Structure 1
Amino acid sequence: MTSAVAERPRPLPEHLRSYVTRFAVSATDGAPGEPYTYVPDPAVQLVVRVADGGRPGALVIGPRTRAAYHASERPASCARFSLAPGAARPLLGVAAADLAGRTVALAELPGRVARRLVDGGRDLAPEEWADLLVRVLPERPSRAEAERAGLLRAGVAALSVRPGLPPARVADAARELAVSERQLRNLFTDGVGVSPKHFARIDRVRHVLAHAPTSPWGELAAASGYYDQSHMTADFRTLMGVPPRSYFTGRLPSTTPCRAARAARG
């Protein structure tokens, strides 16, 4: 199997928790040229990467709707900040949907906060960007932003696999939040970057990836919210490129160059 991307979670400063859900320092855990994989991930991510002779680059990686398999040119040191639902527009100046499936330089984005980060982070090591974010981000979101983010987070929670609970259907989640399905779709498109239905698919596959080594396939399918094992296999194949058994035995798609590496060099 390809190497996973090794991540070392770091404590998240209290000031950042309205905007960032996770902060980690990461590098590929294999030698240069060894394949590694990025699994589907619905979060918009700010990545500060140092490679190619020590040149830093600040990138934004949009929601990743399918797995990507890469061969690393060399291990790269980077800090990765997963943005909270609804944080892309106030911080980066664009809707999350405009970033889906894309990797762009932070300097190309129009948000005032994005410009301040670029200016303030030119000479900083990746892990020092947590302190920069504390200095640059507003102490708290506006009331309207906070209400919208709260609604989005509740929708994310309802559509996610939870211990002992299957994810809610989109119609039930909308009813629980007292919004229409159309309003929920619009909220997710702007603040998460994918539709509620696609978010739920990504979350189910991530649950399978996390629990497959310890759970029988049939039990895992039921716990993940699938109708049956064949439904799980079809969804997994669509998002990961191969069925579960192939993935976990190392029979994977061909690798491609890493877009983040190309964007950092550009």
Structure 2
Amino acid sequence: MKFRHSCGVLKERALEVAPDLRGWISDIIMSEATADAVVVHKPDHSTTLTVRFAPGEKPQLMVRGPRTRALYYRGAPGPSCLQVRLRPGTGKALFGRSMRDLVDEVVPLSDVWHSAGQMADLVDDPGTFVEALVAGLPDRDADGDLVMRAMDMLSTSDIKTSAKRLHVSERHLRNVFVDGVGMPPKRFARIARVRAVIEHGATRPLSELAQEAGFYDHSHMTAEFRAIMGVAPTVFFGGRASPNVRCVGPFKSVELTAGEAVT
């Protein structure tokens, strides 16, 4: 089986995010598997709207909540996906519910959004689909702005320091952050640091990245990476990670047993 840490053996095409949508959307990607592969879904503090296209099937609209750990599974050619990755902290305003309910979950869009039925008619035109997704939404409220400002600080500051700089209590910041992002600030920061290592780990020294990402040292980075990614950095970047889940449908996966995981 082939493996690439970027997301298996995929053909990916980035779509431009219109300037007026950049406050809501981080990335828009069209992806399609081109060979049998071990595909990795990286841990992510963002919520992602996914439209899955499969031959002979109707497009399926899903919401993938923030993911706290990496998932590895065997992929195969066929289905393609449009992935709209929301900026952390915007999901609550878009769906009208706390993001804590969606952590490590994949659910039909219709379960969380009343306009899902209307969106299904627009999936063949990604540009129109994305514009309709955020049409008529108000600007972010005070809580949304607080989350955005806190995210900028958490890469270099702890929750206590960030709350003090934002002139709010730690408890208030933590509660608003969990509602808006889905996870506590500390977990958010841990995932952000590991994602920074993943972004450049294949081409730059890990010891150098460890310092830049905010780890105490290389050993600290390795321990955090293993805890969140499930394997050591050398295994991950060497393409030797084994599947740890098996897809049993577009909305569900099951964990593999130890024997299944090494086959």
Give the TM interval when normalised to the shorter protein. 0.7 to 0.9
1:27 paired residue number: 32
Shift of 1:259: 6.4
Structure 2: which amino acid aligns with 1:240? M
Larger RCO, structures 1/2 (Cα 8 Å, 6+ apart): 1
Structure 1 unaligned blocks of 5 or more: 161-166
Q: What is the aligned length?
A: 248
2:255 paired residue number: none
Q: Distance in 1 between the 2:58 and 2:48 partners?
A: 20
Identity %: 35
1:41 aligns with 2:44: yes
Secondary structure of 1:55's aligned partner: coil
Secondary structure of 2:89's aligned partner: coil
- Aligned pair partner of 1:246 in 211, 215, 235: 235
Paired residues of 1:242 and 1:253 also in contact (CA < 8 A): no
1:172 paired residue number: 161
In structure 2, relative to structure 1, the CA distance for the partners of 1:176 and 1:36 (3 Å cut) is: same
Between Structure 1 and Structure 2, the one with more helix by share is 1
Q: Distance in 2 between the 1:86 and 1:262 partners?
A: 23
2:114 paired residue number: 115
- Aligned pair partner of 2:220 in 228, 231, 254: 231
Q: Distance in 2 between the 1:260 and 1:15 partners?
A: 35
Q: Distance in 2 between the 1:90 and 1:9 partners?
A: 25
1:189 aligns with 2:190: no
Structure 2: which amino acid aligns with 1:14? P
Q: Distance in 1 between the 2:249 and 2:50 partners?
A: 9
2:146 paired residue number: 151
In angstroms, what is the RMSD of aligned CA positions?
2.3
In structure 2, relative to structure 1, the CA distance for the partners of 1:51 and 1:65 (3 Å cut) is: same
In structure 2, relative to structure 1, the CA distance for the partners of 1:183 and 1:223 (3 Å cut) is: same
In structure 2, relative to structure 1, the CA distance for the partners of 1:86 and 1:221 (3 Å cut) is: closer
Paired residues of 1:42 and 1:63 also in contact (CA < 8 A): yes
2:106 paired residue number: 103
TM-score (norm 1): 0.84
4+ long deviations beyond 4 Å: none
Paired residues of 2:45 and 2:88 also in contact (CA < 8 A): no
Secondary structure of 1:121's aligned partner: helix
Q: Distance in 2 between the 1:169 and 1:104 partners?
A: 32
Structure 2: which amino acid aligns with 1:226? F
